[in-house]
């Protein structure tokens, strides 16, 4: 490597370093998501000064080729992801009865099939599992709790966990009392309770388009109707679109993921989120905020919770440990604002209480600081895998393919060349033991049928890389 | 003791043994629920033959004073419990909107208050906890499962647990496929799903009177109406009453506990249960059977599941591990008959899936045979505690007090002398750190206000005995 730098060339040394990185990228030596050598080791290897390497990295960052991550170094970004972002959806603006049940079942059967590569599952903890740390804590709880470990816990939740969660919201600028935290069976139950508090069968619920299919299934199950509000990949729900929809339809409540959305990975900035809350509260429309991906952002700081901007208590925050620590524990929470008393009752009626042992373990996991530390690492790993996944799609999929540039979370939203149908690709991928989530799942209408959602929040391996390659081949076949 | 037997007396030796036992009972040396000395040790102590002691025990059994339990010996029964059974309820025969929320909350706050004697909680596993055995199994699962221990499980449930549950129903004469078992967050969620499958807001649901308040809370939460059908302490739901009610009201479904009811502990024999199923199916009315106490019977064999008699698939069985092993695990199941596909979807919508680790642990607990063995011991312990509780109420409560003779489960239903009010007693007992469940909880109407439910399914201790004594004193104060 040291031979490549020529001191007699007319270009600056740092420019030569820049060119070298760009060549390594073209040749595939360095791939999107890879960490560049540290300043020290690169300077030693190239026999240039550390400031020279730093200047090169800063220049690469300026050009959008690499990005700096605090305490981690510089990472190669994927190319051209901005120009190929997905189009903003323009779904029909009328409420829909939802019916995606059999497809959802097919997808989940595929995901749990033995030997399948589960790119269809949104399970980002797989990228950096905290299973060993959690098992350690749980063994300690088992040793200390005695028969309390299997006892009924209080219906609203295990008090130490409610306290930890209240504490964790201080960082987010939200001062809440532990008694305002209601523990649920995952965020799904939290959203179910929230919806039951604010709406009834027949009511219209506004959702993002595309949105998480679990929300659609819930709306169907409760006999409500879904109204799609187009999601802008860069800004989240369009406020003008929303306002127009509210004028046209008697929307009873909204279920949005304005921090980090699923499947788009879009991000709404705090100013827009504040405007969203004000718009809705001015019309007395409750906002159910699904924040499960909020901690898994790729920004400097996490977004401010929508509830923080609430002045009327009409914002209900739903979240869980499923995307950050332990999906299988089935522990989530609901901050129900002015609906808290009602929410408590619905929770009791639906399932009494949530697993005490799991709550106990999570409360100690939080108290020890390990939970936060794990999330920090998980974020970095996910962002690296995101870059890699984008690079793989860029490399293997047809050039007309568009994709999201997720601002957090663990999934990539891919718009296939128009001849492809996501459902068809789903079935053909299954023949190769690869599961993906077809786009039609994410809307009650038939939009997004040429889209798929693929996960990069996985335990990365050669098999994953190979699966992305195979998917690309299958798409090319479909396009021809 | 040996001096008490007089060989020159005119009475037979065995009669002297009988009298001796009766005296020990009068003096309080032997108490209801106590195990009599074994044949061998008693014959040695009294210096009489083993057949003499056996003859005495058989005579005592014939007189209804003691009862024989296979492989356990002879136990002293409580006195006069039949003549003081609770009156059959005759509640108003019109559907009711339920509203017991704030009282339920008060009761549960009291139960979980530190230092409280929780006679208000129906948690029979406390009488014989399997926490150590379960902790052992869970440690093994943690060691073997790796990151699967925290992963999402299949939405319908962990396959090995579904298989174990299918197997366990063979004994009950019900041949089901593992795929027909839906795992839920406790029986409460199972009943919630079942109700959502068969009825909608505004519909009338027939319930036992008195019935478990969790069912009433659920009916309220779903916007349905409850119609009370009087429960006969000895025979369960009155079929004639039910038939009359069905003629008068458009009942959409029934939620009954015909194996062992809560709070009465009544038991419906298999013939009557079969007639119940035929009556309901002849009118195409679904029966949601809450069988959580079915295993905790005091008969020779457990009752046949109502579902076994179903010919139209209209019986839905709800149960859980909460009363037999681990309430805090929040794992139950639903056998939804012809509603299975619909039930799966409702489950997914409400809470995705249930805790995988807890399911895994329970499946291994079942597979090892330990679960069954624990239940056998639990049954015996509960029956002993029942006798003791009945004896304590007989001893300490006013003579006009009536009470149930539970055929299973872990709770006693007590009808106080008429001047007493259960809610009032509940509050006064709280001053002594004793929680009980006031009778009004168990009906949407104001019936049962002079009743209370007290648990004998507890970790028995002197403090429990003392609590029964204090309750008796408080009732006497109330009656004066």
- Which of B151, B196, B328 is nearest residue A151 as measured by Cβ atoms? B328
Tell me the residue range of the domain where B416 lies: 101-127+378-479
Q: At what angle do helices B13-26 and B50-62 cross, to 10 degrees?
A: 60
Closest CB to B150 among A112, A134, A352: A134
Residues A113-169: pLDDT tens digits? 888 899 999 999 999 999 999 999 999 999 998 888 899 989 999 999 999 999 998
Optimal mutation site among B121, B127, B150, interface A, most CBs of chain A within 10 A:
B150
**A286 in any annotated domain:** yes
Burial B145-177 (b: 16+ CB within 10 A, else e): bebbbbbbbbbbbbbbbbbbbbebbeebebebe
For A300-309, what is each residue's pLDDT tens digit? 889 999 999 9
A223 and A258 both lie in a single domain: yes
Shortest Cα–Cα distance, A349 to chain B (Å): 5
* CATH at residue A466: 3.90.1150.10
pLDDT higher than threshold 60 for residue B121: yes
Give the C-alpha separation, A31 to A4, whole Å.
20
d(CA A262, CA A121): 12
Share of chain B above pLDDT 90, in %: 69
Distance CA A152, CA B112 (A): 9
Residue A329: closest C-alpha in chain B: B355
% residues pLDDT > 70 (chain B): 93
Helix (H, G, I), strand (E, B) or coil at B118: strand
Q: What ipTM does the predicted assembly reach? A: 0.81
- Tell me, yes or no, whether A153 and A232 share the same domain: yes
Residues of B in contact with A155 (CB under 8 A): 108
- Check residue A77 and report its DSSP letter: P
pLDDT of residue B4: 56
Same structural domain, B141 and B178: yes
Separation in Å, CA of A83 to nearest CA in chain B: 35
Tens of pLDDT, residue by residue over A209-218, are 999 999 999 9
pLDDT at A7 (0 to 100): 73
Cβ count within 10 A of residue B2: 9
Within 8 A by CB and 6+ apart from A163, the residues are A178, A363
**pLDDT at position A82 over 50:** no
Write the pLDDT tens digit of every residue in B203-214. Answer: 999 999 999 999
Cβ-defined contact of B214 to A354 (cutoff 8 Å): no
* Domain endpoint, select from A42, A59, A76: A76
**Residue in chain A lying closest to B223 (CA):** A200
By mean pLDDT, which of A215-219, B157-161, B475-479 is the weakest?
Answer: B475-479
B43 to B10, B51, B163, B340: CA distances (angstroms):
20, 9, 49, 59
A106 in the same domain as A59: no
CB pairs under 8 A between A and B: 179
pLDDT of res. A98: 63
Three-state helix/strand/coil letters over B36-83 = CCCHHHHHHHHCCCHHHHHHHHHHHHHCCCEEEECCCEEEECCCCCCC
Q: Which residues of A touch B113 (CB under 8 A)?
A: none
CA distance B468 to B119: 9
Gap between the Cα atoms of B167 and B178, Å rounded:
8
Determine the pLDDT at residue A27.
61
Reduce the DSSP state of residue A333 to 3 states and report it.
Answer: strand
CB-CB: which of A112, A129, A221 is closest to B154?
A112
Residue A389 pLDDT? 97
- Shared domain for B316 and B398, answered yes or no, is no
Checking if the pLDDT of B297 tops 70, the result is yes
d(CA B289, CA B308): 11
Q: Could you tell me if residue A81 is inside a domain?
A: no
Query: Would B89 be classed as within a structural domain?
Result: no
pLDDT for B373 equals 95
Residues of chain A found within 8 Å of residue B457, distances taken between Cβ atoms: none
pLDDT at B301 over 50: yes
pLDDT of residue B66: 86
Kindly report, residue by residue over B249-291, the tens digit of the pLDDT.
999 999 999 999 999 999 999 999 999 999 999 999 999 999 9
Residue B348 lies in a domain: yes
Question: Into how many domains does chain B fold?
Answer: 3
| Of residues B104, B189, B344, nearest to A351 (C-beta) | B189
Q: What pLDDT score does B420 carry?
A: 86
pLDDT in tens, A198-250: 999 999 999 999 999 999 999 999 999 999 999 988 889 999 999 999 999 99
Last residue in a domain, options A352, A372, A392? A372
CB contact (8 A) between residue A129 and residue B149: no
Mean pLDDT, rounded, of chain A: 90
């Amino acid at each position: 490597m040291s031979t490549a730098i020529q001191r007699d060339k007319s270009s600056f040394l740092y420019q030569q370093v820049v060119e070298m990185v760009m060549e390594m990228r073209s040749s595939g030596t360095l791939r999107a998501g890879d960490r560049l050598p540290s300043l020290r080791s690169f300077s030693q290897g190239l026999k240039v000064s550390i400031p020279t390497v730093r200047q090169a990295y800063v220049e690469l960052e300026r050009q959008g080729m690499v990005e700096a991550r605090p305490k981690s170094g510089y990472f190669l970004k994927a190319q051209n992801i901005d120009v190929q972002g997905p189009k903003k959806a323009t779904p029909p603006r009328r409420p829909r009865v939802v019916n995606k049940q059999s497809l959802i079942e097919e997808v989940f059967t595929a995901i749990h099939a033995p030997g399948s590569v589960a790119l269809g599952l949104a399970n980002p903890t797989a990228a950096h599992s905290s299973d060993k740390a959690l098992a350690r804590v749980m063994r300690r709880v088992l040793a200390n709790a005695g028969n309390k470990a299997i006892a009924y816990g209080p219906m609203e939740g295990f008090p130490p966990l409610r306290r930890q969660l209240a504490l964790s919201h201080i960082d987010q600028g939200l001062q809440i009392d532990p008694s305002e935290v209601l523990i649920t069976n995952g965020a799904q139950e939290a959203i179910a309770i929230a919806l039951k508090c604010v709406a009834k069968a027949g009511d219209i619920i506004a959702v993002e388009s595309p949105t998480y299919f679990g929300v659609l299934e819930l709306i169907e199950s409760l006999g409500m109707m879904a109204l799609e509000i187009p999601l802008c990949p860069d800004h989240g729900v369009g406020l003008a679109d929303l306002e127009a929809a509210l004028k046209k339809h008697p929307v009873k409540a909204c279920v949005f993921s304005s921090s980090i959305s699923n499947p788009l990975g879009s991000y709404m900035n705090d100013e827009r989120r504040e405007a969203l809350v004000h718009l809705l509260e001015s019309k007395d429309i409750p906002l159910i905020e699904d924040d499960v991906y909020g901690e898994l952002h790729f920004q400097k700081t996490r977004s401010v919770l929508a509830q923080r901007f609430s002045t009327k208590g009409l914002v209900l925050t739903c979240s869980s440990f499923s995307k950050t620590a332990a999906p299988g524990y089935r522990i989530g929470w609901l901050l129900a604002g002015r609906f808290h008393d009602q929410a408590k009752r619905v929770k009791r009626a639906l399932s009494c209480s949530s697993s005490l042992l799991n709550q106990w373990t999570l409360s100690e996991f939080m108290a020890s600081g390990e939970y936060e530390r794990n999330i920090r690492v998980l974020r970095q790993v996910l962002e690296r895998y995101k870059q890699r996944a984008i690079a793989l799609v860029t490399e293997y999929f047809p050039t007309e393919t568009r994709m999201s540039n997720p601002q957090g979370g663990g999934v990539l939203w891919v718009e296939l060349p128009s001849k492809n149908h996501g459902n068809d690709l789903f079935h053909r991928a299954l023949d190769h033991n690869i599961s993906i989530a077809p786009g039609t799942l994410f809307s009650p209408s038939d939009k997004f049928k040429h889209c798929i959602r693929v996960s990069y929040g996985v335990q990365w391996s050669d098999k994953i890389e190979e699966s992305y390659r195979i998917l690309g081949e299958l798409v090319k076949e479909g396009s021809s």
